[in-house]
Chain A
Amino acid sequence: MGITTEELRASRKVLAEFDYEPAEIEKGYSGKSLYINLTDLTIKPKDITEQMKEIFIGGKGFGLWYLWNAVKPSTKWSDPENEIVISSGPIGGITQYPGSGKSLVVTLSPLTNSVMDSNVGGYFGPYLKFSGWDALEVQGKADQDVVVFIDGDRGKITIEKMELDPGASHLVSEQLTDMFAESEKDKKNISIVSTGSGADNTLIGLLNFSFYDLRRKAPRLKQAGRGGIGTVFREKNLAALVVRYSSLSGRSNNPADPSTIAKTGVKLAREINKFDDEQFRMRQIGTANLMTPMNDYDLLPVNNFKFGSHEDAVKISSDVLRSKFTQNMPDGCWVGCALSCCKAVDNFELKTGPFKGDKVIVDGPEYETAAGLGSNCGIFDPDHIIEANFYCDTYGIDTISTGTITAFAMECYENGVINKEITGGLELSFGSADAAMELIHQMGQGRGFGKIAGLGVRRMKHFFVDEYGADEAFLEDIGMENKGLEYSQYQAKESLAQQGGYAMTNKGPQHDEAWLIFMDMVNKQLPTFEKKAEALHYFPMFRTWFGLMGLCKLPWNDIIPESNKDADRPELIPEHVQNYVDIFNAVTGKQIDKDEMIRQSERVYNFQRVFNLRLGFGTREHDAAPYRALGPVTEEEYESRAERYDNQLRDDVGINPEGMSTADKVKKMREYRESRYEQLIDVVYKRRGWTTNGIPTIGHLCELGIDFPEVIETVKNKL
């Protein structure tokens, strides 16, 4: 479609260039970061200081530190001074331990107006580092669409313009891979960061990070999905970032102790080979293996999180999705990931939209996508989910937010808050696959009701109240967002710990901070407030660590080692935690233990909390949850699980439900659940070293060693 590779090459015009000698990697760091300003086309190196390595480690830590220094308390996401920072981390790029090639992206989000971070696969972060840069900061705003090319082979960076249509990410990735690769063989050395027209037209734009799939002979796309990072990218008039690095080897990261890394990696690879087929089948189905168990445990969101299961869920079960994925492919989002979870549907013929009739590769659907675009919208058609997944990715919009937005719009539609006139003819009731698909095209292309939906649930609520006189309280209850970010796709009603795991996050309700549903609800390992608070301290810290290192979370607990049978605390997966300590030490030559590991995260986590505070957020009111996330909002919801709720009223609340009206029962249940949530906040804040308003105490910040003057001042002003 469109322009040929030759024409594209001929249209290149270099606007700025910079030659450099790629820094040698030493123990996981190049020691340099790259700063680019698109307003005045500056390209310059910066030194990574020892203090940065000590306190912020890498990845998301570097991203937060650079962003902190780049913006003011008044900076908005669309201001040129906002930055997009990409960094992998010291472990990022090792090939021996599964899950070691992630990039972390940090920016100010258009959805939350605060700090966003996203963890993404693809080869960009590792190649960036091996090209000499531990991090990349992009600031400013270009006056026309530009492509930034980092050639790690030649030591050359260019900012260029070219005749590239940035509207469809799968084509951008293909075209740029073809053009920048010097031969067919060179394609695997290229990674592209791009998005699509949806990022221009909505606030939920994402970034696709590519890697070249040698067997499929096409670039694959992995998503930095959450929080509108792609929207910021397009606001800067970035069309794409490209990196090229062709000397990847098992020693590119130049670790202090390669033998320990190899030993630990081989151990895990063997474990995966031995147990994956009988455990989670990540290699066969990826994260979509969760579809069936989530439905079985009443945790799969259905109809805007009203329910947790549905009789039609068998149509989109784990095994149905498995049958769509090509099997026996090394689908790792970074080389060497034996868990190989990034499945793809091949030769999928599109039925709608601008690429109707094309046969394409669809990356995923992952669990979140299948649940968000499927069950949560009451749609149980696997082909719809795959098609919607493809278009979200290529338009560059987040499937999780898209799912939650569509589900919210559907509930509003069914309740008469909006109607056909307002939606421009879309019949947005639950289960309407055609309308849901059309809404994706509208969001992607900036048309019709898609322009409103693309603003996200928080702004939709305000819009419906202001423009159509909707019942504000009802919309606050059913609009599944917190801090402005849409909820990811788990039903949290029956797990108090998970309710906190969602709404007490730094960036908004994404399960990557704490996923405690099973531990809390199914395995009953967190019976008391204290236990829940401990879990809501430990797990967010532990999981933050992956984002400092350039690691994926999945090989931690989506494969269970044999030793776990006899472990004291099996939920921690102690053997794998020790693996991480060992590989960190083996890469950096440092000597940390598992307590220091949590300390490393605590510094960055608390810094991010203070960053939120500095931008006007980060206090208790911002950790409130919509009631839909805590309990049954409507009588319909209550009645659907009446026995469960009646029992809870009797056993937990101490009220006899007999003879009570459903409305009364809903009310009593609500009082109980909301007060429990407030109690939870109290104990969690205390455990985290925060005031009852959720602000880290000065003592705690000093103890952590992040008592920089500006940090202390920010906190002092708010205490």
Chain B
Amino acid sequence: MLKIVEKNEKECTLCGACETTCSTFYFKEDDRLKSSIQVLEASENGDPVINVCNQCGNCIDVCPVEAIKRTGKGTVVISKKACVGCFNCVGVCPTDTMYWHEDLTEPFKCISCSRCTKECPTEAIFMEEVATN
């Protein structure tokens, strides 16, 4: 079964703990723009918006060098070595959660490692099993 980061945006207090956790772990710096989960203030209904990949895999098909694969567990991952930094995957991502940053040559995304969910003080994000197709 595939586990993804699920969210309950009502509970989010915009504390940024998830972002700090993610970017510090993967990029060794606290920069929310280098986090694979990003929270934004108020949507139309007044709740914060939590942007994180749902592992849909649309990006896999457009990668010209087959750098994006689904792992055995169902998570969608990028091989940095194979990637040529074209950002086609960023362009097609329906949830805008294939991220890019001006310091980085390759894009980055959530791989369902669950670290952020453990740091969230309000359980606004949590791991959930979903069916893979």
Residues of A within 8 A of B (CB): 95-96, 188, 214-215, 248-251, 258-259, 262-263, 265-266, 268-270, 272-273, 328-330, 332, 335-338, 340
Residues of B within 8 A of A (CB): 61-66, 83-88, 90-92, 100, 102-103, 105-106
Minimum CB–CB distance from B22 to chain A (whole Å) comes to: 20
A215 & B66 in contact (Cβ 8 Å cutoff): yes
B61 & A188 in contact (Cβ 8 Å cutoff): no
B61 & A330 in contact (Cβ 8 Å cutoff): yes
Contacting residue for A96 out of B61, B64, B87, CB 8 A: B87
Give chain A residues whose Cβ lies under 8 Å from the Cβ of B102: 258-259, 262-263
B85 & A273 in contact (Cβ 8 Å cutoff): no
- A95-B84, A258-B102, A265-B86 known; 5 new pairs, CB 8 Å cut-off, are A249-B105, A251-B85, A328-B61, A329-B61, A335-B64
Give chain B residues whose Cβ lies under 8 Å from the Cβ of A329: 61
Q: Is the interface of B mostly helix, strand, loop or mixed?
A: loop
A273 & B91 in contact (Cβ 8 Å cutoff): yes
B86 & A96 in contact (Cβ 8 Å cutoff): yes
B86 & A95 in contact (Cβ 8 Å cutoff): yes
A96 & B85 in contact (Cβ 8 Å cutoff): yes
Give chain A residues whose Cβ lies under 8 Å from the Cβ of B90: 266, 269-270
A338 & B105 in contact (Cβ 8 Å cutoff): no
B87 & A336 in contact (Cβ 8 Å cutoff): yes
Q: With CB as the reference atom, state the residue of chain B lying closest to A334.
A: B64
Q: With CB as the reference atom, state the residue of chain B lying closest to A250.
A: B85
| With A249-B105, A251-B105, A273-B92 as contacts: A262 and B87 at CB distance below 8 Å | yes
Minimum CB–CB distance from A153 to chain B (whole Å) comes to: 16
Task: Give the complex CA separation of A332 and B84 in angstroms.
Answer: 14
Task: Give the complex CA separation of A250 and B87 in angstroms.
Answer: 9
B65 & A269 in contact (Cβ 8 Å cutoff): no
Q: With CB as the reference atom, state the residue of chain B lying closest to A257.
A: B102
A272 & B91 in contact (Cβ 8 Å cutoff): yes
Q: With CB as the reference atom, state the residue of chain A lying closest to B90.
A: A266
B63 & A269 in contact (Cβ 8 Å cutoff): no
Minimum CB–CB distance from A20 to chain B (whole Å) comes to: 24
Minimum CB–CB distance from B130 to chain A (whole Å) comes to: 23
Task: Give the complex CA separation of A262 and B33 in angstroms.
Answer: 15
Task: Give the complex CA separation of A123 and B54 in angstroms.
Answer: 34
A338 & B88 in contact (Cβ 8 Å cutoff): yes
Task: Give the complex CA separation of A215 and B93 in angstroms.
Answer: 21
Minimum CB–CB distance from A627 to chain B (whole Å) comes to: 46
Give chain B residues whose Cβ lies under 8 Å from the Cβ of A259: 102-103
Q: With CB as the reference atom, state the residue of chain A lying closest to B62.
A: A330
Task: Give the complex CA separation of A332 and B87 in angstroms.
Answer: 13
Give chain A residues whose Cβ lies under 8 Å from the Cβ of B87: 96, 262, 265-266, 269, 336
| With A250-B85, A251-B85, A259-B102 as contacts: A214 and B91 at CB distance below 8 Å | no
Minimum CB–CB distance from B59 to chain A (whole Å) comes to: 11
Minimum CB–CB distance from B113 to chain A (whole Å) comes to: 24
Contacting residue for A214 out of B65, B83, B106, CB 8 A: B65
Task: Give the complex CA separation of A241 and B102 in angstroms.
Answer: 37
Task: Give the complex CA separation of A215 and B65 in angstroms.
Answer: 9
